[in-house]
Structure 1
């Protein structure tokens, strides 16, 4: 017997598939196309979808862990750690400061002006807390499609992973303070400051520790088995188990899942998974994230009420401007300051960080958790849904032109034949490594190994020759810049080692460290620069060793 829910799932999957096909054909952002499709389904008023809604249990317990784990599993931990200062600045104090500024702007812009009736500090703080987290899924998809600098992609993705957890903690604190059903076992606090600090540390720090511990346990466990089905199953247990265990212990399930994914992807996949297993796990989570994103953005479209949004259009626009202004104020102030302590960011990236801070489904779900008896609930739901919709369409659709204007689309100048030859070389070498491992374990006969080795070695030589033939017509400055970034980072490690071994004094080490930071900053300003610009980054070249001729 077919049940109503099964039909709803099948309809949504079918719509998602057709929307994906159309978005690919017409080169449209997939997530935005899903929202439009959701709006269309709402206008059609299909009976089978009449009771479908985006609720907290669906998002937080089923869809969100899949998205968080898939993104965290792919994080390059070395790069994440290298940019942790910038990511932390955006994700923790950035959420707190931008949220506070948003609340102030809204209190005066909507409340004191009388634009929205009964809009006080309580409503301003609730609105700011639910919109504190960025959700740049569509922007990240666009980044992958157009090819922005990898470091910029990592910073935007890393911030979005961490600030989801921070936003949930802030929302718990605000709702508890105003007696609106605080979560995680919270009761009305006697001391606001003490309660806020205690909750922040318990939920944030506890979630991180739980995620790291479970991710480490997963890594140890996968070393004991070599079966892609079992290890994929264990990764699903880790993703959802880390979330549920942390929530049960009144900690942040979001941060727990994120750090479990980072440990599993950066350590567990490297030490406990074969190449075949890693591919299977990655494919599984790519599919899971695709399904989760499809459901979320279709449901966002279904939840949007055009008539209600039009009635509150002026207030929604004011609220949208307030959120962008608050984020812009923080980014343009904090990033130059943190750049003095970490690897500096190019000026153009600040514009992307401000405009790429889209709001998404988490904000909508958090506002829906307010009790129905709360008198300002309907007004806040309309405001939040309107700002999310405006953010998705205005910021999402204008991001590509902004990236082109700033000159950050490194992939548009790629030469596909050369890239294909290089990729073939890398693929063949990985295959040869796997073949050597199979042979060393006696899993393949010597005659078969010789035959396959000959094939892949021939493929490698052919690809190498093709790359050499094409390289004369290729601008290698972007590739050189990427390699230089890694080499300068290696120089920094060497500098720390020399300082630790007391081979140079602190003053000299500080001077060399500043020099390296300046070279990295100059390199970031020229991610695909000319040979002359790269020579400026490197400094004098006595032997003419970098002359392309």
Structure 2
């Protein structure tokens, strides 16, 4: 942790003009450390599977779920699920079949099920560098939520499929029968549904606990960290999806714990989650840099070339294909520029490397070649795509987010519009998104929120809360604008002369 902090401080203080992603910086740091360790240590330093699944992965997943913009996420849930599920399956199948098509050119013979397992883990995207650029540049909300939501659920789908295919790889391709495939398909849905249910129960337990610990505000942040982690461990012990459980727990507990906690506890949870998640991801990239000096690498130019080309080509094809399908049902269309940025932002990173390192070499003889190819794939995407995404966004003039802070009147008009749209759907006999949104909101307000929070809030209370939030945001914006004007005046050399 101290080493990671030192590297970040050194990099950001010395490289103000160099726009390199933090992930690339950590790979370089790991490479430098690996160079020195290679001289003194007779054995390799590698990422232990237990360290990855038990300690590094949960904070990353919890942070992603907790900071997911709920309203935007559920408004675009259909599009996000299309990219995350259909798009991920598209990448896995097409990459796996392409690798199998060129299998005669590889140095060693690889079983088809092993190639499908590799195509599954190599399909895990990690657009942290892209999202940081999006936040800094302030891109439009649709592009941001599509990339954020897809990457979050993509990791969950990938890990669930990874575990299913790993068990099939242990059996061996020559011993697989139809029942094994049917069992794996059924197990996929069972594992996913079980993980989601455990996550919902964990979110309920977290909300209830923070409600009854109002007088112990110093303990509330600990509850928000330990209960989701407990849900993750319970899911893993029950052979369900731990990553889905902790993501769902973070997603659903957020509205309730924020109402139960004070400002100090809320800020503590926010920054601690961001800190531990960023350091966990940085540690994985450090190990990736260290692994470049492994003595067990197997470099196969054909396998590497086919993998890199397949990931890049099928990512673009899949993005354009499923965007065209989604646009047929969307009112707000996803533009070609946004589609290109989404496809270009399919970086590989921490999840991808962590999964390949957990492969069992006894059941996957080609593990060393898979690890070597994964390292190349991550380095290429992080350095080439991650470093060029910023100028590309500027060059393509991606639509920016409107920084206008909505007034109370605008919020009231928006709510009234939703009510009118629901009425139109009712007259037309259609149960559309506005109908279900209103029903779920009403169910939450009448049944869930009184149970999970200390004080039941009416729609009038919500309006007052929104007014106070808008007022606070407007005051902060005016203060920042005034400070910027003062700084500009003080930096103007003419201002020092009468």
Q: TM-score, with normalisation over the residues of structure 2? A: 0.77
Name the SS for the 1:93 alignment partner: helix
Match for residue 249 of structure 1 among 238, 242, 253? 238
Q: 487-496 vs 280-289, which deviates more? A: 487-496
Which consecutive unaligned segments of at least 5 residues does structure 2 have? 436-498
Equivalent of 2:326, from 314, 317, 338?
Answer: 338
Structure 1 pair 20–71 and aligned structure 2 pair: CA distance change class (3 A): farther
Is the CA contact 1:146–1:409 (under 8 Å) kept in the aligned structure 2?
Answer: no
- Structure 1 stretch 348-357 or stretch 119-128: which is displaced more? 119-128
Q: Which residue of 2 aligns with 1:545?
A: none
**Which of 287, 293, 304 is matched with 1:316 structurally?**
304
Distance 1:481 1:389, change over 3 A: farther
1:124 aligns to what? 115
User: For 1:165, what is the secondary structure of its paired residue?
Assistant: helix
Structure 2 residue 1 is the aligned partner of structure 1 residue 14: no
- Pairwise CA distance, 1:290: 2.6
Q: Which residue pairs with 2:392 in the alignment? A: 402
Q: Does 1:30 align with 2:18?
A: no
* Residues 111 and 120, structure 1, Cα contact 8 Å, conserved in 2: no
1:269 is aligned to 2:261: no
Pick closer, same or farther for the CA change 1:188–1:486 going to 2, 3 Å. Answer: farther
Give 1:26-65 correspondences, 5 Å limit: 26-45=18-37, 47=40, 52-65=45-58
Whether 2:156 is the aligned partner of 1:168: answer no
Q: CA deviation at 1:202?
A: 1.2
Contact 1:180-1:370 at 8 Å conserved across structures: no
Report the Cα distance in structure 1 between the residues aligned to 2:9 and 2:193, rounded to whole angstroms: 39
Aligned to 2:375: 385
Is 1:85 the counterpart of 2:74? The answer is: no
Report if aligned partners of 1:317, 1:387 keep a CA contact under 8 Å in 2.
no
Please say if residues 316 and 343 of structure 2, whose CA atoms lie closer than 8 Å, have aligned partners that are also in contact. yes
Q: CA deviation at 1:305?
A: 4.0
Match of 2:349 among 360, 370, 388: 360
Aligned to 1:525: none
SS in 1 for 2:333: coil
- Larger Rg, first or second structure (1 or 2): 1
1:22 to partner: Cα distance:
3.9
Q: Of the candidates 355, 362, 365, which is equivalent to residue 375 of structure 1?
A: 365
Identify if the C-alpha distance between structure 1 residues 295 and 485 changes in structure 2 by more than 3 Å, giving closer, same or farther: farther
- Is the CA contact (8 Å cut-off) linking 2:299 and 2:369 kept in structure 1? no
Change in 2 beyond 3 A, CA 1:104/1:499: same
Which whole-Å CA distance do the structure 2 matches of 1:213 and 1:225 have between them? 18
**1:179 equivalent in structure 2:** 170
Secondary structure in 2 matching 1:28: coil
Distance in 1 between the 2:388 and 2:183 partners?
A: 41
Equivalence map 1:94-493=2 (5 Å): 94-108=87-101, 110-112=102-104, 114-179=105-170, 191-226=179-214, 227-265=216-254, 267-305=255-293, 311-342=299-330, 343-373=332-362, 374-408=364-398, 410=400, 479=404, 490=415, 493=418
Q: Tell whether the 8 Å contact from 1:244 to 1:253 is kept in structure 2 after alignment.
A: yes
Offset at residue 400 of structure 1 (A): 1.3
Bigger RCO (CA 8 Å, 6+ sep): 2
**Partner Cα distance (1:20, 1:211) in 2:** 37
Give TM-score, length-normalised by structure 1.
Answer: 0.71
What SS class does the counterpart of residue 260 from structure 1 fall into? helix
| TM superposition shift of 1:489 | 6.7
SS at match of 2:365: coil
Q: Alpha-carbon deviation of 1:311?
A: 4.5
Aligned to 1:498: 423
Query: Does the CA-based 8 Å contact 1:106-1:124 persist in structure 2?
Result: yes
Structure 1 gaps of 5+ residues are 1-8, 412-476, 514-549
Shift in alpha-carbon separation, 1:482–1:53, aligned structure 2, 3 A: farther
Change in Cα spacing, 1:24 to 1:153, as seen in structure 2 (3 Å) is farther
Q: Contact (CA 8 Å) 1:189, 1:195: kept in 2 or not?
A: no
Residues 353 and 375 of structure 2 are in contact (CA less than 8 Å); yes or no, is this contact kept in structure 1?
A: yes
Relative to structure 1, the CA distance from residue 228 to residue 156 in structure 2 (aligned partners, 3 Å threshold; closer, same or farther) is farther
User: Given that residues 29 and 138 in structure 1 are in contact (C-alpha distance below 8 angstroms), is that contact kept between their aligned partners in structure 2?
Assistant: yes
- 2: distance between equivalents of 1:487 and 1:353? 33
Alpha-carbon separation, structure 1, partners of 2:205 and 2:321: 41
Q: Distance in 1 between matches of 2:206 and 2:15?
A: 37
- Describe the shift of the 1:151–1:178 C-alpha distance in structure 2 as closer, same or farther (beyond 3 A): same
Aligned to 2:67: 74
Whole-Å separation in 2 of the counterparts to 1:306 and 1:23: 29
Tell me the CA shift for residue 257 of structure 1: 0.6
Contact 1:180/1:371 (CA < 8 Å) preserved in 2? Answer: no
The offset of 1:484, in angstroms, is 13
Q: What whole-Å deviation, never above 9, does each CA across 1:215-264 have from its counterpart, x for those lacking one?
A: 12211211122344211111111232121111111110001110111112
How many Å separate the matches in 2 of 1:482 and 1:392?
40
Q: 1:179 to 1:51 in 2, by over 3 A?
A: closer
* C-alpha distance after superposition, 1:322-381 (max 9, x if no partner): 012122221111111112223421221111111111111222222222222232222222
User: Corresponding residue for 2:485?
Assistant: none
RMSD: 3.3
